[in-house]
Structure 1
Amino acid sequence: MSKLQLSFACWNYDRIAALFDGSIQPKGIDLNYLNMPVEETFWRMMRHEEFDIAELSLSSYLVGLDRGYPNVTAIPVFMSRSFRHSGIYINTNSGIVKPSDLRGKRVGLPEYQLTACLWIRGILEHEYGVEPASIHWLTGGEETPGRQEKVALSLPPEIDIHAIGPDQTLNDLLECGEIDAIIAPRAPSSFLNGSPNVARLFPNYVDEEQSYFRKTGIFPIMHVVAIRNDVLERAPWVAMNLYEAFEQAKQVVYDGFNQTAALKVTLPWLVAEVERTKEVMGEDFWPYGVERNRKTLEAAVTYSFEQGLIKKPLQVEDLFVKSTLERFII
């Protein structure tokens, strides 16, 4: 019997390397791996459902579920996760030195519904008491003019949000002081180039993020893996077979990290970093599945609902293909 041919659009993470080099193969599936930047994958999947399987923004996925599009369902495999205290950049002349100083300020973001921005707003509100309605939001391209939201939004009336000019960029506005801060998954070029006008709100962001994890147990999820519903309708077994293959591919990375005779990754203190991470987060520090991630998923849904991105609270179990919610135990 021939294998099912399926396209899979995703960036080239180490945790899926064993899938695209063929050393691990999902049962009954031949993956046509398409290595693509995340923004392009999200746009093409959300707007046109171009791929059988794709990495997808968690926030966009929640908005899509709330509104009934696109026709995809996720499995609890999380391609991208990231603590986001590092993603708040300030103009050093703005008077911002602590989170509460963001109240009343002009803060740029590439898209309001971006998952990183969802998490940062939620963290600012729940950990520091800074509500989204207390900030003046401006949206637009971070480095290139003209960026728009991937999905149309209908936000609460108390949210003050406007697009920047068609020829403006958030990076330029931040550096010259026309906006006071940016929250974004990518560091602005002004920061990377060492501009004295731009700095992180949390220079010691690793300490902040580890404290946040110790307090909440939350490791923010950025991206899920979503499968088109027509694929699941004709071959429902695809979801669990993919899930198992993703778990196996991630274990290959863990095994490499645990090899101390030679460094698998081009980082001189890799062993020390892995040891520090395990001390804070445990052996399986990048867990898949629902139960190990329930608090994180519930927080994402709560933030999305509170911020007006989704109009009704979603149950965690409703986010994923049902067969992946349980594991068969011999």
Structure 2
Amino acid sequence: MNRLQLSFACWDYDRMRALQDGRVRPEGIDLNFLSLPVEETFYRQLRHQEFDVCEMSLSSYLLTLNQDEPPFVALPVFPSRFFRHQSIYVNTAGGIDKPADLVGKRIGTPEYQMTAGVWQRGILAEEYGVPVDSVQYFTGGIEEPGRDEKIRLDLPDSISVTPIGPDQTLSEMLADGEIDAICSASQPSCFGRVPQVRHLFEDFTAVEKDYYRRTRIFPIMHTVVLRRELHERNPWIARSLTKAFTASLELAYEDLKHRNALKVMLPWLQQHLEETLDALGPGYWDYGLERNRHVLETFARYSYEQGLASRVRSPEEIVLASASDSFKL
């Protein structure tokens, strides 16, 4: 039987390395692994559907489900996760000392619909009394001008989102006090250069550990999608890929445990791993629907509350539960 040839675009993650170097091969599938930066992958897939399988922003994927004929289905596989308290930056000259001080302020974000921003706005609203419609949002590139939303938005009138000028960047606007904060995935270059620009949560590690202890949420940033018509023609692909992604993840876990020669360039890797396991427990990056049900439920609610998703979708509507229902993840 000929193996199915599929293109797969994804960033060069340790949890995907075994798929990239061939140690793990999906049953019946040969993957042409294309190691691409995430923004390029998202743009090319959302605009042109260039890849059979690819890494995808969880928020962008959820927005494609608003369409009459959604183009993708998602696997219960999450290559990117990130606590996002640490990625909120403020200019203290605007009188911001605590999260509640953001009410009535101007917040920059690369795209209103980006996953990091959805998590950050949801957390600020739910835990710190900063309603989504209580601030003004400004969108554009952090360091390079001209960034646009990848997906057209239809937001309620109560939410104010304004693109910045064609020659402006959010980093310089924060440095100059033209905006009061940035909610992003990346660190703006003005941080460390401009004294009044700092983290909103200075002790973000402790804040994020406490957040996990209370919510059990390690925020999902990205999932893996395949073209819907490909899935409908070959429904076995989803299960085969999910098994392979899980096997690759398990090898990445094992790499972190090696002590005779460090595979990761962190001199105190053992202590860092012990600290992570103490805070998050084993299997902290595990794939699968059930282990991540509460995370997907929270994100789906945030997306709807922020005027993005057309309705609150269940985890079963977001990812293919059948891809992992017959084996342990």
TM-score normalised by the chain length of structure 2: 0.97
Which residue of structure 2 aligns with residue 39 of structure 1? 39
Which residue of structure 2 aligns with residue 166 of structure 1? 166
Return the offset for 1:327. 2.0
Question: Are 2:217 and 1:215 equivalent residues in the alignment?
Answer: no
Measured against aligned partners, the alpha-carbon deviations of 1:79-130 in whole angstroms (never above 9, x if no partner) come to 1000000110111311111000001111111000000000000000111111
Alpha-carbon contact 2:76-2:321 (below 8 Å) kept: no
* Percent identity of paired positions between Structure 1 and Structure 2: 51
Return the offset for 1:246. 0.6
Return the offset for 1:69. 5.6
Task: Please show how residues 11-90 of structure 1 align to structure 2 within 5 Å.
Answer: 11-68=11-68, 70-90=70-90
Measured against aligned partners, the alpha-carbon deviations of 1:116-145 in whole angstroms (never above 9, x if no partner) come to 000000000111111111111111111111
Which residue of structure 1 aligns with residue 316 of structure 2? 317
Q: What amino acid is aligned across from residue 296 of structure 1 in structure 2?
A: V
Question: Which 5+ residue runs of structure 1 have no aligned equivalent?
Answer: none
Return the offset for 1:328. 4.0
SS at 1:67's partner residue?
coil
SS at 1:122's partner residue?
helix
Q: What amino acid is aligned across from residue 125 of structure 2 in structure 1?
A: E
Alpha-carbon contact 2:66-2:309 (below 8 Å) kept: yes
Provide the C-alpha distance between the structure 2 equivalents of 1:142 and 1:30, rounded to a whole number of angstroms.
37
Alpha-carbon contact 1:47-1:70 (below 8 Å) kept: no
Measured against aligned partners, the alpha-carbon deviations of 1:145-201 in whole angstroms (never above 9, x if no partner) come to 11110011111111122111111111110111111111000100111x532131111
Task: Please show how residues 110-149 of structure 1 align to structure 2 within 5 Å.
Answer: 110-149=110-149
Which residue of structure 2 aligns with residue 303 of structure 1? 302
Alpha-carbon contact 1:104-1:135 (below 8 Å) kept: yes
Question: Which 5+ residue runs of structure 2 have no aligned equivalent?
Answer: none
Q: What amino acid is aligned across from residue 134 of structure 1 in structure 2?
A: S
Provide the C-alpha distance between the structure 1 equivalents of 2:327 and 2:34, rounded to a whole number of angstroms.
31
Provide the C-alpha distance between the structure 1 equivalents of 2:275 and 2:165, rounded to a whole number of angstroms.
44
CA distance 1:110–1:69, change in 2 (3 Å): farther
Provide the C-alpha distance between the structure 2 equivalents of 1:70 and 1:94, rounded to a whole number of angstroms.
43
Provide the C-alpha distance between the structure 2 equivalents of 1:117 and 1:99, rounded to a whole number of angstroms.
15
Measured against aligned partners, the alpha-carbon deviations of 1:262-316 in whole angstroms (never above 9, x if no partner) come to 2110001111111111111111110100100011000000000111101211111
Provide the C-alpha distance between the structure 2 equivalents of 1:114 and 1:42, rounded to a whole number of angstroms.
11
Alpha-carbon contact 1:49-1:70 (below 8 Å) kept: no
Provide the C-alpha distance between the structure 2 equivalents of 1:108 and 1:68, rounded to a whole number of angstroms.
31
Measured against aligned partners, the alpha-carbon deviations of 1:18-76 in whole angstroms (never above 9, x if no partner) come to 00100111111100011111011001111111100000000001111122465110000
Which residue of structure 2 aligns with residue 105 of structure 1? 105
Provide the C-alpha distance between the structure 1 equivalents of 2:163 and 2:312, rounded to a whole number of angstroms.
28
Which residue of structure 2 aligns with residue 273 of structure 1? 272
Which residue of structure 1 aligns with residue 195 of structure 2? 196
SS at 1:101's partner residue?
helix
Query: How many residues end up aligned between the 2 structures?
Result: 328
Provide the C-alpha distance between the structure 1 equivalents of 2:221 and 2:55, rounded to a whole number of angstroms.
10
TM-score normalised by the chain length of structure 1: 0.97
SS at 1:93's partner residue?
helix
CA distance 1:79–1:151, change in 2 (3 Å): same
Provide the C-alpha distance between the structure 1 equivalents of 2:188 and 2:117, rounded to a whole number of angstroms.
14
User: Does 66-75 or 233-242 show the bigger shift?
Assistant: 66-75
CA distance 1:91–1:163, change in 2 (3 Å): same
